[in-house]
Amino acid sequence: MPEFPSTQPADPSEPEQDTAGVGPVTAATDRMVRSVERLDQPAMGEPSLCTGWTRAHVVSHVARNADALSNLLTWAGTGVETPMYVSAQARDADIATGAGRDAGAILDDLRASAQRFATAVASLPDEAWERQVRMGPAASGATIPARRVLWQRLKEVEIHHVDLAAGYTPADWAPWFVDRALAETLRMFGRRDDVPGLTLVVDGTPERLGSGGDTTVSGPSVAVLGWLTGRSAGDGLTVDPPGPLPPLPAWA
């Protein structure tokens, strides 16, 4: 099983890791489960930070993502193409159906799907972690080595935990997670043509997006990541020249 190293790898495209192996994923999932345990039926039906989704939709999505990423590990272990989802339509339908259940059933599903993912991780032979699988519905997305499935799962849980709007915020993200996710987000935004040109000053270090533009947004890395991912309105950031933060496209 791959391990999540505690130091930044030489190749920034590689996942951050620490010596706990799959431990960061398990710990993040446990934190989310504890938050969901506090949501009663009315609270589960309240809006999340994801436009058009209730908290029930978010939790159901995280559960289905666990099963989807387990499919990729099955693919890596067997060599038989096993997409995350049959189609985008099937993915959306499963989330909508799951969100219609009562709060107890949604919580049970989150726990059970997390256990299935943990079992899939533990069952994968060491040599299978370097095998290539494809993300996305109907295997339509990026090709990654199976070891990166752990990072994909960690991102999913940490980001969507914030989306519950239940007390967990970007400030609760571990610094190593922020560093890894921010570097990845900056690379992703740098490849897009719908991102406004601006200069970010992250913990004192400038980073250009697009042309760099005439606007500079400054702040600590966690505040920048929260804003870029749409999980913060920009608290903790300053804009020069003074004014509103530039509008951003959807993170994903």
**Residues near 68 by Cβ (< 8 Å), separated by ≥ 6?**
84, 85, 91
Q: What is the DSSP letter of 132?
A: E
Residues 183 and 212 in one domain: yes
For residue 2, name the pLDDT band (cuts at 50, 70, 90).
low
Domain hosting residue 227, numbered range: 175-240
95 contacts 57 by C-beta, under 8 angstroms: yes
What's residue 8's pLDDT? 37
Check whether 6 has a pLDDT greater than 70: no
State pTM to two decimals: 0.90
| 50 lies in the same domain as 86 | yes
**Are 202 and 112 part of one and the same domain?**
no
Model confidence pLDDT, tens digit, residues 15-46:
444 333 579 999 999 999 999 999 999 999 99
Same domain, 118 and 220: no
Q: For residue 16, what are the β-bridge partners?
A: none
Q: What is the pLDDT of residues 98-145, one digit of tens each?
A: 999 999 999 999 999 999 999 999 999 999 999 999 999 999 999 999
